[in-house]
Amino acid sequence: MAHPRRAGSTAARMKKRNETKMILRQPVLLISIAATIALLLLFVIYPLVKVLIFGLTDENGRLSGANLHAILTNPNNLATMGRTLLLGLIVAVIATFIGYVFAYTITRTNAPCKRLLKIIATLPILSPPFILSLSIIFLFGKQGVITKTLLGITGNNVYGMGSLIIVQVISFFPIAYLTLSGILESIDASVEDAACNMGADRWHTFWTVTFPLSLPGIISGCLLVFIQSLEDFSNPATIGGDYRTLSVEIYKTITGSYDMRKGSVLAVLLLLPAVIAYLLNKYWVGKKSFVTVTGKPTQARKLVDIPRVKYPLFIFCLVIGLITLLLYGTVIYGSFVTTWGYDYALTLDQYKKALAYGWTSLKNSMILGLISAVVGGLLGMVIAYITAKRNYYGKTFIEVSSVLMFAVPGTVLGISYVLGFNTKPLVLTGTATVLVIVFVFRNMPVAIESGTTTLLQIDNSIEEASTILGADTGYSFRQITLPMLRNAFYSGVVYSFVRAITAVSAVIFLVSPKWNLVTSKIYTLFDQAKYAQAAAFVTMMVIILLVFIGLFNTVINRLLAPRSRVPEELRQKTEVAK
């Protein structure tokens, strides 16, 4: 008698073999898969392998661990690595706690102003870099409103670990909130109601039922925030002061010491913990779910309406929200001030100076961001389709490599592209093409994840009906599947555009005089202590992002609106089939 597990694995292999044979008879699908694999090999795997090889070889190209040994035995490098990991752990814990409180308050209580809390909880995701660092400088710096004007403290040093923790926590707690809100909403309400019916109070129910069931989301949120903290370059570079992290150390090593090989080794050291944390989240935490999902209908969830529970939670969220709004409002106000700390008269001079200084870079960012958003969104939908709806040899490679760039720190990504595409046969550094490619493959994982989640909920019989009527795979994807992916495509395009416009670390090594970007200009303004002009740039970026998000919503809804009638071409094919 065959072993059940062996029989199951044999059946799975037979099914995969049969589906692979079917794909070979569908030219459009076969070309899509082959082209995807080729692109991932060229623009994801090749650059990462290049930086690994470069960091572990000597000047003659021979394998050598001398550089790695020199870095690991240097106390300063070890201290920098320790500071980076410590900062990531502290920020991950605090941000996840705040994200959990926000998620629980919004999804489980009858607290007031929940719509406002949702907006505040997602605002930092759409904001450009530098904005929170600017706020801290405006409020608590040497000319800060709070430190100098209100408290009379002069010469306050705002740079360092404390400010960096505050900025990163506010920047990244929305990631934990979005992860945890989905987990909390998916928990079956009857499980908690059963505990209450058995006499447990809300506090006991929370610790024995709700918290254990949401534990996978808590771990996932911690890991994702930890990754973002490791990758962050703009905040440590602008407000970290003497508290230098690995991302900043890599930049200083390459631009200051002109030591690309040492910078590559440091990049490998930064890459390892980020990738490990990402793989743990995706393939270990992602498989652990303690949520009980039954096929039975459940009653509506009873929101907590106990005053001693909902009001303390609401007040906590409100305080965090007011701090967040204060920080954002300070930057907007600072962009209209003549000279911060001396002359608070309102003026538009900062915008005039900013546009005269960096209009070309702002235009470049919008053009390249728009191109990469559309290309990345479409490619993300294609990859989501060929991984969620098809089973073939090579699928695992596409699944892993297509989302790998999400875990790669920006400075590491920039170095890998410089090393990979700075020599023949493919010289791309300094061109607009390399910037678009970086934006596409860096930000595409969100579109892939959104598309995959949506596709898994679409019944295969819908596409099968189209195939029976005579449509090929390409036609069915364009006319049927893609309109159903409208919301996922919108999410992917918006995320890609926002991240392209606000990218710093991934492009800091790739910009050129001809193709400079607005974030590089803002970073230069920070170095020159021209904070008011930087605030004007940041405010303009916020307006641009909001305008384009509205345009994306309008255009995508019109182009991908659900079709209520059978297309004429498919109708003709049906008549021929009859």
**Any alpha helices (H) in 335-457, and if so which ranges?**
349-388, 395-402, 410-420, 432-455
pLDDT average, residue stretch 285-310: 61
Element (H, E) at 262: helix 260-283
Whole-number Å distance between alpha carbons of 433 and 429: 8
> How high is the pLDDT of residue 473?
61
The rounded Cα 542 to chain-centroid distance in angstroms is 18
pLDDT band at residue 30 under the 50/70/90 scheme: confident
Look at strands 343-346 and 337-339 and give their pairing.
antiparallel
Q: Considering Cα of 467, then 469, then 472, then 473, what sign does the dihedral take?
A: negative
The rounded Cα 469 to chain-centroid distance in angstroms is 40
In tens, the pLDDT along 489-524 reads: 888 898 899 989 988 888 888 988 888 999 989 988
CATH of region 70-291+306-334, choose from 1.10.3720.10, 1.10.10.10, 3.40.640.10, 1.10.260.40: 1.10.3720.10
Which DSSP state fits 246? Answer: H
Q: Which CATH architecture has domain 20-56+349-578?
A: Orthogonal Bundle (1.10)
> How high is the pLDDT of residue 372?
95
Q: Which are the contacts of 223, defined by CB distance < 8 A and separation ≥ 6? A: 92, 277, 278, 280, 281, 285
* Domain 70-291+306-334 in the same topology as domain 20-56+349-578: yes
Write down the residue that tokens 């089939």 correspond to: 577
Stronger pLDDT, 202 or 320, i.e. the higher one: 320
Task: Name the residue among 228, 219, 261 with its Cα closest to residue 247.
Answer: 228
Has residue 578 got a pLDDT over 50?
Answer: no
| The residue type at 101 | V
Whole-number Å distance between alpha carbons of 41 and 394: 12
pLDDT band at residue 466 under the 50/70/90 scheme: low
In tens, the pLDDT along 427-443 reads: 888 899 999 999 999 99
> How high is the pLDDT of residue 463?
59
Write down the residue that tokens 């440590």 correspond to: 236
Q: What is the pTM of this model?
A: 0.83
The two tokens of residue 272 are 């390892």
pLDDT band at residue 459 under the 50/70/90 scheme: low
Would you kindly state where each structural domain of the chain is located, as residue ranges? 20-56+349-578, 70-291+306-334
pLDDT band at residue 379 under the 50/70/90 scheme: very high
